[in-house]
Structure 1
Amino acid sequence: MKRIFPLPLILALGALAQSTLGVEPPVLLKEAKPGEVLTQTLTVYNVGTRPVRVRVSLGDWTYDPMGKIQFLPTGTLKESASPWATFSPAEFLLEPKQSRPLTYTLTVPKDAVSGTHWGILFLESEDPNPPPGVPLATFRVRMAHVFYVNIGPLTSGGRITGIVPSPPKSPQEPYRFAIQYQNTGNTAQKLSGRFEVRDSMGRKVAEAEVEEVVVLPGQVRILPVILVGPLPAGNYTALAILNYGDPTKDVAADLPFTLRTPLSAPPGPPANEGGKGGTP
């Protein structure tokens, strides 16, 4: 088993009163060969004070370039691993403070193509005895276990297709950038990186955080970057440096831009007024 990707989604259909459903592990990555059978046992737990009825189902998921999750019927995606899965039990009752195992099996087709395949196992719970007069939907919670299956040979690659600037309308606003990245390989990637600003002499004068995300094979992600001051007016170069999991290789792109008015520092906490009067 290789590194585990961050969980891209945990969902809720409402607040389950006095009850919390969980699953461990929430995400899993396995290596497999065509024709291989994989079995995984999860632990489903209820840390709340009321019993819950849990129903299990399968689905597909993907996202748009901004990272908004989209849920789809099983087998919608050509990379879907959900049709390979069977599980037991499909429904069970979980008492307060109780946990129980849930086993699922992935039967990889003999003609499975190389690359990353993925799916999602939904666990939806509801209170079997909701208080009178309260809509049942109020007491539903849906959690997710995401599974990835890597089938070799795997190819890794990526590129930054652009950096789009959004200048501030006032010195108090941040300077916003959008890094456009494309996964050109056939395997899911854990993308990380940094964003720097350099002056006309090549010196780093500012930096901003780049969110760590998962990028599915062939897909595009837009990574928002927020740059705050203080930064004087002048000519600069924005530099995005990203890594998709290869410790020996980064991808980079730059964008010259002009800051026409100084960029202010973000507002600080209110000044301490202590000492000017007694305690109320």
Structure 2
Amino acid sequence: MFLVRPGVPEMLALTNTINRSALCFFLFVAFCGSAGAQTSPQAEQTGSGISLAPARIEMEMRPGTEATVVVDLDYHAAGENTQPVRIVATLNDWTLNRNGEVEFQKANTLPNSASGWLIYSPAETTVTPGKTHSIRVTISVPKDATPGDHLSALIVEQRADTIKLIQNRRQMVVRYRMAAVFYIKVGQLTRRGSLENLHAEASADSVLLIPTLKNQGNSAIRPVASALITNAAGQIVAQSAEKESLPVLAGSELAKPLTIEKALAPGTYSVKYRIDFQDGSRPTEGVTDLVVGNAAASVSYPRSDGKPAKP
């Protein structure tokens, strides 16, 4: 397989975090009811829109304890004739699949669900443009709760019966569906990240890296990673700056592709992927060889010499 070598130890102090960047889901419905969905990690603050803050809530709690948080809903509108809308809130379970895509499930169906622990109010309200509306969420952790992360999502969306359509006219209706995700962290938390595999392939104008990350702990990790590509002479020809990847949830794997926009000439290259799982362990570096042919289509060849990669 590819080579993996340890780096310099780097410890992380873990604290409760509330990330106030908004997470919005927009459902576009056109004319006769055909629909498509797309996601955006942050609500646009220009034009009309509805956003939730915080969009991610992480709380470390002990079994048998209770806490209350407030999720604010901001309805900002650019037009003068924008009308109030009726919204309804519900709970869903959620997870990330192996490709890094968010998946929502019915409440209390996933093994690590916290949906049964949450009570929120109001469940339905009318929101007015230019005003902030608050939803209070109370989390009650059972005395027999198992250690680790328990997840839930507060879904806020516009009631379908409040969307008014003008008959015999082609139009687009924007229906907002938003989520504030909850990580309820209970008891003794463990985070154990590992780099399981590293695949690289080149196209005409870019290089695609697919690292397979695994978390054997009971709590999510948020790795920080960078990539470096060198030619046969050891010269750097492309790189990706260090940045935080998607979280790797407890007991799961993540294999989300990373694209480096760079056209490589035919030849043999070394691809190094350095990752700090921020779990208290040393950073890890995976290395694989990439052979680029004349047709610009190539694959990686895992090293098998059993020696650590050169720094």
TM-score, normalised by the number of residues in structure 1? 0.81
Residue from 243, 248, 264 that aligns with 1:215: 248
Is the alpha carbon distance of 1:5 and 1:203 closer, same or farther for their aligned partners in structure 2, counting shifts above 3 Å? Answer: farther
How much does 1:21 deviate?
1.8
How much does 1:158 deviate?
1.0
SS at match of 1:179: strand
For the residues of structure 1 that align with 2:119 and 2:73, how far apart are their CA atoms? 17
Is the alpha carbon distance of 1:96 and 1:167 closer, same or farther for their aligned partners in structure 2, counting shifts above 3 Å? Answer: closer
Query: Are 2:206 and 2:263, in contact at CA under 8 Å, matched by a contact in 1?
Result: no
Partner of residue 271, structure 1: none
Partner of residue 206, structure 2: 174
**Alignment partner of 1:12 is 2:21:** no
Is the alpha carbon distance of 1:41 and 1:109 closer, same or farther for their aligned partners in structure 2, counting shifts above 3 Å? Answer: same
Partner of residue 269, structure 1: none
Partner of residue 274, structure 1: none
Residue from 130, 138, 150 that aligns with 2:173: 138
Deviations 1:238-263 (A, max 9, x none): 11111222466212211123233497
For the residues of structure 2 that align with 1:32 and 1:44, how far apart are their CA atoms? 25
Partner of residue 29, structure 1: 58
Partner of residue 66, structure 1: 99
How much does 1:136 deviate?
12
SS at match of 2:282: coil
For the residues of structure 1 that align with 2:154 and 2:195, how far apart are their CA atoms? 32
Q: Percent identity?
A: 26
For the residues of structure 1 that align with 2:25 and 2:152, how far apart are their CA atoms? 15
Letter paired with 1:130? K
Residue from 154, 165, 190 that aligns with 2:189: 154
Letter paired with 2:104? F
Letter paired with 2:156? L
Aligned length: 259
Is the alpha carbon distance of 1:132 and 1:176 closer, same or farther for their aligned partners in structure 2, counting shifts above 3 Å? Answer: closer
**Alignment partner of 1:47 is 2:47:** no
Gaps of 5+ in 1: 264-280
Query: Are 2:207 and 2:263, in contact at CA under 8 Å, matched by a contact in 1?
Result: no
Query: Are 1:19 and 1:51, in contact at CA under 8 Å, matched by a contact in 2?
Result: no
How much does 1:175 deviate?
2.7
Partner of residue 187, structure 1: 219
TM-score, normalised by the number of residues in structure 2? 0.73
CA RMSD of aligned residues (A): 3.0
Residue from 152, 162, 168 that aligns with 1:128: 162
Moved more, 213-222 or 244-253: 244-253
